[in-house]
Amino acid sequence: METKIAIQGIKGSFHHAVAMDYFQEKVALKECLSFDAVVDAVLSGEVKQAVMALENSIAGSIIPNYALIDHNDLSIVGEYNLNIHHTLMSLAGQTIEDIQEVHSHPMALLQCKEFFRNYPHIKLIEAADTANVAKYITEEQRKGIAAIAPKASAKIYGLNVLAESIQTIKNNITRFVIVQKKNGSLGQAQINKASLKFILDHQRGSLAAVLNVMSDCLLNLTKIQSLPVIETPGKYAFFVDVTFDTFEQYEKARQILKIMALEFKILGEYTDVKR
């Protein structure tokens, strides 16, 4: 039986690649052109789970996705790190000198901007999705336009590869998370990573005190991201990822943090992808 998964983008996108690799089974895709639409598909029950990019080793955190997961009470139940390789592609019979415009997702353009310093005649244009540009070029037979997309898109949509691995930094990792409406069914023995959100009293040393508790309980802080609390100017919510060797260490820290924080929320408990 196929598992229906929502992704941002279409076949040939990086989200598609993650869905195929993570689930290791036949997957039916719900293609969405925005992350809001991805979340809506989960909330409506059309799909049970979705793939969402959360951060990139070059461009940093995808801030709006933290807010989407939090505000819609989604639960992170897994993660996947994908090594990103950007490929430049166009209709057959063209060279890079024939290209006047390159269209792609803003993140892809940012990650490849150094490559285009050697081609000042090319105009870079933002688009909603990488693979969707490749599909558009093929369907509309648009000469003079190229896409930055995963190499798989060239095969799927019949495009010619002009250049491979054009990202500035070759070790370019994007972290994706698997989200759903309710907590997963992992047993404590399988849980060695958690994503948490907390809001602290606005006083000196409050964050340092929380970090000390994590350290004392032998938690390893792998990510910290702050977002302003819109309803209370000057106050910030902190989103953190922690890993741990035993669930007991984490449980002890969790109970203490619940007391220390003005607001405390578990965004997900799952298995660390690196282990």
Return d(Cα 275, Cα 266) in angstroms, integer. Answer: 21
CA 156 from centre of chain: 23
Tens digits of pLDDT across the chain (275 residues)? 678 999 999 999 999 999 999 998 788 999 998 999 999 999 999 999 999 999 988 778 888 999 999 999 999 999 999 999 999 999 999 999 999 999 999 989 999 999 999 999 999 999 988 999 999 999 999 999 999 999 999 999 999 999 999 999 888 899 999 999 976 556 677 899 999 999 998 788 899 999 999 999 999 999 999 988 888 877 889 999 999 999 999 999 999 999 999 999 999 999 997 64
Q: Say how far apart CA 212 and CA 217 lie, in whole Å.
A: 9
pTM here? 0.89
pLDDT for 275:
44
Q: CATH classification of 3-83+172-180 is 3.40.190.10, yes or no? A: yes
Residue (of 159, 153, 243) closest to 194 by Cα position: 243
pLDDT at 189: 73
Please give the Cα distance from 257 to 240 (Å, whole number). 12
Return the structure tokens found at 84.
């990103």
Q: What is the pLDDT of residue 32?
A: 95
Domain with CATH 3.30.70.260 in the chain: 188-270
The CATH class for the domain spanning 188-270 reads: alpha beta
CATH 3.40.190.10 range(s) for the chain read: 3-83+172-180, 87-163
Provide the CATH number for the domain formed by 87-163 in this structure: 3.40.190.10
Q: Is the dihedral of CA 101, 102, 105, 111 positive or negative?
A: negative
CB 16 within 8 A of CB 10: yes
SS3 assignment, position 49:
strand
pLDDT score recorded for residue 271 = 93
Q: Rounded to whole angstroms, how far apart are CA atoms 97 and 118?
A: 11
Q: Which two tokens stand for residue 50?
A: 């979705």
SS (H, E, C) the chain: CCEEEEEEECCCCHHHHHHHHHHCCCEEEEEECCHHHHHHHHHCCCCCEEEEEEEECCCEECHHHHHHHHHCCCEEEEEEEEECCCEEEECCCCCHHHCCEEEECHHHHHHCCCHHHHCCCCEEEECCCHHHHHHHHHHHCCCCEEEEECHHHHHHHCCEEEECCCCCCCCCEEEEEEEECCCCCCCHHHCCEEEEEEECCCCCCHHHHHHHHHHHCCCEEEEEEEEECCCCCCCEEEEEEEECCCHHHHHHHHHHHHHHCCEEEEEEEECCCCC
